[in-house]
Structure 1
C-alpha cells in the first residue's frame, strides 16, 4: 500500500469521523438504543457522489472498515452512501475482504428484539415485529443468515416466517419453506443456512432438509437425512453441516448424529456423538462451534463440555456462568460468536421484570473464566437468541 493511498485513507477517516460527529450532535442525535433507520436530516447533501477527491474504490475500501453500527449514519450522508448500504454491496465486499462483526440478537419479549455488539459494548433496539396475536403467542425459533434475521412461528393454520433485514431496518414476511415446519435443527454459514428435520403442521416428524440463501431469499431442497428427527441441533464444522440428538418417530430419542457433505450432497450417520437422551419436554442440545471446535452446555449439570476429536468423546471443561439460570434447560442462549462462546440469560426481578446478562469466554487451555459483557433491563426470559456474522 503506497504513501498516497495511506494519506488519502487517513483524510477519508477524518472526513467520515467529522461527518458522523456532526450528525450525532445535530438535530438527529444517534444513541446506542437507536436503530439504523434514515435520519430525518437524510438529504444533507443531494450529491450522488462519494468522496470525489479519493475516488470510489478508495472510499469503499475505507468504508468497509467502519463499524457497521455507524452504517446508519453513513447512509444518511447522501444518496450514494445510502445506496451502498441498502443495496448490501458493502456487506458483500466485507465478506470477500474477510471483514466481519458478530452481533448477538436477543428476544426477551414476544415481539421485541435487541442487538448487542460485544466488541464495542453497544446495544441497538430493533423495530417491533408486526402485531400478530397468533404469531406472538406461538413458540418461535430464530436464525441469522447473512444480513437477515429469520423468526419462525405459527399463524392459525400454518407456519410462517418473519424476516428482519439490517439493510432496511425493517420486518417483512419471508418466502415460506417448501415444507413448512418447526422444531428443526439449523445452522448458518455466511449467506446460507441449512434447516433439517422438524415437525410439520400435521405433527409428522420429518427427515427432509432445505437450504436458504439470504442474498436471493430463496429455498432449495437438499437430500433428506437418514433418520427423521425433531428437537435436534445443527452446526457447521470444518466446512460440513452436522445434526445432533433429537427425537424420532414414536418418540425414539437419538444419541446419534448425521454429517452432511455439501460437495458430495450426501449424509452419513455418526453413532453416539452425544450420548445424552432427550425427552419431549427438554430443549434441543445447546452446541456451539468456535475455531472449528465443538462445545456443548449441559444445563442440568451446569457444565461446559468440549468434544475431543481424537478420542471421540466429550470432556468437561468447567462450569457455566453462575449468574445464569434456566427453566428445565429453557431460557438460555448458548452460541459461538467469532472467537468467543457467549451465554445469555436473565436475572429475574419483581413483578415480571428482569435483567438480561451476556457472558463471554474465548476458549483457551484451562478452566473457563467467564466475563460479564453486559447487563441490561430487558425482560425475565430469553425466548430466542442468535448471532449475526456480517
Structure 2
C-alpha cells in the first residue's frame, strides 16, 4: 500500500475506461495507483514515463492525456503522455508550446485542450493549447483566459464540458461562464450557489455528468455555519441565469468536510 507521504501530498485523479487513476508523491517519488472496477482492487503502476503531479488531464473512452505538471525535482514541464487503459501503457506525444503546472485539461469537438496554469517562473498563463492527434501537433490559443482575475495561489481553472460546450466557474466571483470558440470570449451565465472565492477555487468539485453540471462546495449562505452542498443544473448557453437544483437527499453531505480534495465521475 502507499505510504503516509502519499496521503498528505498533492494528488491528481482521472477516470479512464473502468479504471480510476490516482497520481501522487510517495517518499521515494511520484507514483501511479489505479483502481480497476471489474476487479474491485487497487494496483500500483504502471509508472509515467516522466512522473509528474499537478498536470492538466482529460479522458476519452479508454485513453487519458496528461499534460505538463511538476516533475520529481519540482520543475514545471511541457511534457505530454497518453495512457491506454486496455494495455496499461504510457506513450509520449508531442510537447506543448508552454511549460505549465496547475492547468486544466478537457476534450472539445474531439480535440484535447489544456488551459491556464502557471509557467516555469510561476507566472499565470492566460493562453490555452489544442492538440490535434491526427497531425500530432499543438495549436497555441492566445488570451483564452484574458478576462479572468488571477491571484498568485488560485486553483487550476474549474472547467467542465456539456453538449460540446465548455463551461468555467470563475472562482473569484462564483460565476458560471460559457466559452465561444468563434470569438474567444466567455459569456456570463449567472451565479453558482457555492462559495469559490473563499478558497480561491481549491476544494470545490465542478464536473459534468451527462447533460448536467455538478458542483460540490461550501454553501453561499451567509450563515456562520456553512455546510457542504451539492447542486446540479442542465446548462444552456442561451440563458443568462441557470436553474440550479440542490441534491438534498443524495447523501448526508452536510457533515462532510467542506474542502473536496479530489473528485471524479465514473459511469459503470
What is the TM-score of this pair, normalised by structure 2? 0.89
Q: Distance in 2 between matches of 1:176 and 1:321?
A: 39
* 2:201 corresponds to which of 329, 348, 352: 329
Structure of higher RCO (CA pairs closer than 8 Å, 6+ residues apart): 1
Over the aligned positions, Cα root-mean-square deviation in angstroms equals 2.0
Q: 1:354 to 1:161 in 2, by over 3 A?
A: farther
Does residue 1:223 correspond to 2:94, yes or no? yes
Contact 1:183 1:199 in 2 (8 A): yes
Structure 1 contact 326–332 (Cα < 8 Å) conserved: no
| Higher alpha-carbon deviation: 200-209 or 370-379 | 370-379
For residues 226 and 9 of structure 2, what CA distance do their matches in structure 1 show?
Answer: 21
Partner of 1:290: 162
Residue-pair matches, total:
256
Per the alignment, residue 137 of structure 2 pairs with 266
The aligned runs of 1:146-157 (5 Å cut-off) are: 146-157=17-28
Q: Does 1:381 align with 2:259?
A: yes
Residue by residue, what CA displacement relative to the aligned partner does 1:291-329 show, whole Å, maximum 9, x if unpaired? 111100011101000112333200110011247775222
Pick from 206, 209, 220 the counterpart of residue 77 of structure 2: 206
Cα gap change, 1:212 to 1:326, in 2 (>3 Å): farther
Equivalent residues of 1:245, 1:277 under 8 A apart? no
TM-score (norm 1): 0.62
Partners of 1:196 and 1:208 within 8 A in 2: yes
Instruction: Provide structure 2 residue ranges, at least 5 long, that are not aligned to the other structure.
Output: 220-224
Q: What SS is found at the alignment partner of 1:381?
A: coil
Superposed CA offset, 1:349-389 (max 9, x none): xxxx9965321111134211111223423333210011124
- Gap change, CA 1:277 and 1:328, over 3 Å in 2: closer
Q: Distance in 1 between the 2:229 and 2:251 partners? A: 4
Q: Which residue is 1:316 aligned to? A: 188
Task: Point out where structure 1 has 5 or more consecutive residues left out of the alignment.
Answer: 1-129, 348-352
C-alpha separation in 2, matches of 1:206 and 1:323: 31
Alpha-carbon distance in 2 for matches of 1:280, 1:178: 30
Higher share of residues assigned strand: 2
Query: Which has a greater percent of helix?
Result: 1
| Pair member with larger Rg | 1
User: 1:230 touches 1:246 (CA, 8 Å); kept in 2?
Assistant: yes
Report the counterpart of residue 43 of structure 2 in structure 1: 172
Kept after mapping to 1: 8 A contact 2:22/2:32: yes
Asked whether the 8 Å contact 2:173–2:196 carries over to 1, the reply is no
